[in-house]
Amino acid sequence: MMQEFSENSSLTHLDTSGEARMVDVSAKQATVREAVAAAQVRMSAETLEAIQAGNAPKGDVLGTARIAGIMAAKQTSALIPLCHPLPLQKVEVQITADQDLPGYQIRAQVKTKAETGVEMEALTAVSVAALTLYDMAKALEKSMQIEGIRLISKTGGKSGDYQRED
């Protein structure tokens, strides 16, 4: 027996029959929205040194990962069911060496003027940048770890601003 859902349900991605749906945002005002996400890739000090020196067998590890993250943000609605396609005005992916990990810190900032937020685009950007970094360097080390994919902050929208506390 199918459960009946009310229009007032807090489950925004389900219709009254309990079926998955894309939320109708057409009545919402387009506002500036921004999100920042982060991730890290942990590796041996030797692998970090080889990447920094430009000695990875596949070539430009960081440049390729950065472009992959930007491209992924633009494709989020094709990858994540029920995400709205958004006109992105800014996608910036930064990849910074971290000797203390050792490895790389990845940060993405995504900005739009739209009816819904860009958290998923920022999270997709750091995820794909990390996966690409792994792919480009796996010949050096297969035991690298992708860690800590998280939303750092978001601004705009009905739910208000968010800033991660840690």
4 marked as part of a ligand binding site = no
Q: How many domains does the chain have?
A: 1
What pLDDT score does 1 carry? 38
Per-residue pLDDT of 100-155, as tens digits, reads 999 999 999 999 999 999 999 999 999 999 999 999 999 999 999 999 999 999 99
Model pTM?
0.88
2 marked as part of a ligand binding site = no
What pLDDT score does 24 carry? 76
Per-residue pLDDT of 45-84, as tens digits, reads 999 999 999 999 999 999 999 999 999 999 999 999 999 9
List the catalytic residue out of 15, 98, 100, 135: 135
What pLDDT score does 14 carry? 62
Considering the domain boundaries, does residue 11 fall inside one? Answer: no
144 marked as part of a ligand binding site = no
43 marked as part of a ligand binding site = no
Considering the domain boundaries, does residue 75 fall inside one? Answer: yes
Considering the domain boundaries, does residue 3 fall inside one? Answer: no
93 contacts: CB under 8 Å, gap ≥ 6: 65, 66, 69, 70, 73, 106, 107, 108, 125, 126, 129
Residue where the block lists tokens 């596949």: 58
Phi and psi (nearest 5°) for 72? -65, -40
Please report, for the domain that includes residue 106, its CATH number: 3.30.70.640
What pLDDT score does 144 carry? 98
Angle, helices 119-137/61-74, rounded to nearest 10 degrees: 150
Considering the domain boundaries, does residue 150 fall inside one? Answer: yes
Q: Decide if 100 is catalytic.
A: no
Considering the domain boundaries, does residue 1 fall inside one? Answer: no
